[in-house]
Amino acid sequence: MLNDEEVRAIAAEARLSLHGDELAKAVRYINNFLGMVDRFKELDLKDVPPFCFAESTECPLREDVAAPFPRVPDILAARSQSLDYAGAFRVPRIVEE
């Protein structure tokens, strides 16, 4: 069971702020969720390998060819107002806490 502070901290880690009854609802949700996944403890998973991929294929390898994306301006168009003079994306003040 997680308490309010713990859930608030996890939310903050996910860059989410919870206000008013959002926090209470989130605490209820998380604790129900953990209750649901606590069921795994009934199983002996010691020697069971983790499932990572449905098919036993190997990672395909791409040829090392430089082929520029033809529509770079379309990518930048999403932020045309806030790019700086050199074309870099703006971010607000970074404060190392």
Partner 1 sequence: MHHKEKLEFTPVIGIEIHIQLKTRSKIFCSCAADYTNDEPNTHICPVCMGLPGSLPALNGEVIRQAMRAGLTLHCRILPTTFFFRKSYYYPDLPKGFQITQSDLPIAADGWLEIHDDAGRPKRVRVNRLHLEEDVGKLRHVTADGRIEGASSSFVDYNRSGLPLAEIVSEPDISSAREAVEYVTTLRRRVLHAGASDVDLEKGMMRFDANVSLKCSDGRWGNRVEVKNMNSFRALERAIEYEVKRQGSILAEGGEVMRETRHWNDARGVTTGLRVKEFYRKFIVEPDLPPLVITKEQVDEALASLPEMPEEKLVRYVGFGLSEGDAAVLIEEPAVARYFEACVTAGANPLRAGNWVRTEVLRVVNDAKVSADMIAVSPEALASLLAKVEDGGLSTTLAKSVFDALLDGLSFEDALKRSGASDGAVDVHALAASVVAANPDVVAEIRSGKDTKGKKVKFLVGLMMRESKGSVKVDEATAALEKVLA
Partner 2 sequence: MSGLHELSTSEIAAGVKGKKFSALEVFDDCLNRTLACDGSLDALITTVVEDGRRAAEAIDGRVARGEPLGPLAGVPTVLKDNMCTYKVRTTAGSRILGGWEPPYSATVWTLLSEAGATLLGKSNMDEFAMGNTTGTSAFGPTRNPWDTSRVPGGSSGGSAAAVAAAYVPFALGSDTGGSIRQPASYCGIYGLKPTYGLVSRYGLIAYGSSLDQIGPFARSMADIALVMSVIARHDPRDSTSVPGKSFDFTVRKGSDALRGKRVALVREFQDFTLDKPIADAMKRVAKICEDAGAEITEVSLPTVGRYAVACYYAIAASEAHTNLARYDGVRYGAEADEHAGTLREAFEDVRSKGFGVEVKSRIIAGTCLTEPVRSEEYYVAATRVRTLIAEEFHRAFESADCILQPVTPSMPERIGEVDDDATKGYEADLYTLPVNMAGLPGLTFFTGYAESGLPVGLQLVGHRWSDATLVDMGAALEEIIGSPRVPAVVKGAA
Residue type, 22: E
Q: Would you say 57 or 85 has its CB closer to partner 2?
A: 57
Neighbours of 23 (CB within 10 A): 16
Binding status of residue 60 toward partner 1 by CB under 8 A = yes
Segment contacting partner 1 by CB under 8 A, of 22-30, 36-44, 68-76: 68-76
Q: Would you say 85 or 95 has its CB closer to partner 2?
A: 95
Segment contacting partner 1 by CB under 8 A, of 22-30, 35-43, 57-65: 57-65
Tokens 């009934």 belong to residue: 42
x/- mask, partner 1, residues 14-53, rule CB under 8 A, reads: -x----------------------------------x-xx
Pairwise CA distance, residues 5 & 26, whole Å: 11
Binding status of residue 75 toward partner 1 by CB under 8 A = yes
Residue 3, burial from CB neighbour count under 10 angstroms (0-12, 13-18, 19+): exposed
3-state secondary structure of 83: strand
In the window 31-60, what residues touch partner 2 (CB under 8 A)? 32-34, 36-37, 39-40, 43, 45, 48-55, 57, 59-60
Pairwise CA distance, residues 36 & 56, whole Å: 30
